[in-house]
Amino acid sequence: DGLHADVSLTVSDGTVRIESSYEGIESETITLSGGTVAVTAADDAVNGSGGSPLVTISSGDITLNSGGDSLDSNGSLYVSGGTITVFGPENSGNGMLDCDGVAEITGGTLLGAGASGMNQNFGGSSTQCSILTDLSVRQSAGTTVTVTDSSGAEVASYTPEKDFQCVIISAPELTVGETYTI
């Protein structure tokens, strides 16, 4: 593990760079509330595991590059802020989000691309919109993903570093009833 705690792990400031690990950040309770976090993991990038797992992200600049699940909570996942970029798994047996409990987003920006097959979207308790879509054709690393609204204005854009066939996007600019093009 890049960072491991049995009970609770918090990053609130500074810079955390995990360039190589099996599990990137692992603990029963994980709180990311500031700073810059970059994780490269052969398996899960962020893994809430143990008794009553909880992953909470409220702020920070977070980049996750995983071979397994990118954001994994064997309990609940709450996102209320921050900028999260996910270069998810290329293996369809894993997902960008893998949550056994509540998966809720109420703020922040999440841009992710990875394999299709096992992905989850945020749940109905979320107050911020999110889009999860499987693409009909696998896309190559370096293919830019752009989201525009019905007037053609750009809402989000990013360039995945790995091959992908699924995209997840959540941003404050997304609104219910609007039409978006990816």
DSSP string, 118-145: S-----TT-SS-EEEEEEEEEE-TTPPE
Both tokens of residue 19? 């360039």
Residue 70 one-letter amino acid = S
Q: pLDDT tens digits, residue range 40-85?
A: 999 999 999 988 999 999 999 999 999 999 999 999 999 999 999 9
Sheet holding 3-4, edge to edge: 3-4, 25-27, 46-48, 71-73, 97-99
Strands 54-66 and 83-87, bridge-based pairing: parallel
Q: What is the per-residue pLDDT for 176? A: 93
pTM: 0.96
- Which of 24, 15, 67 has its CA nearest to residue 48? 24
Please say whether the beta carbons of 74 and 98 come within 8 A. Answer: no
Decide if pLDDT at 119 tops 90. Answer: no
Average pLDDT, the chain: 96
Q: How many CB atoms lie within 10 A of CB 12?
A: 12
